[in-house]
Amino acid sequence: MIYLRNRKTKETEVTLAEDPNYTISISKENNKIAVKNRKEWLKQ
């Protein structure tokens, strides 16, 4: 991939990386202890 910089007018190559962001979600596994802990935590 090629870029041209506006200050120094030079081309740059960029190698993309893996996205470091995480996705947090409620597990689909029905672990009874974990579900109970979550309910206590969220006071549901």
Query: Which residues of this chain interact with other proteins, rule CB under 8 A?
Result: 1-7, 12-27, 29, 31, 34-35, 37-38, 40-44
Least Cα distance to 1 among 10, 17, 11 occurs for: 11
Cα dist from 43 to 11, 25, 34, 38, whole Å = 56, 18, 14, 8
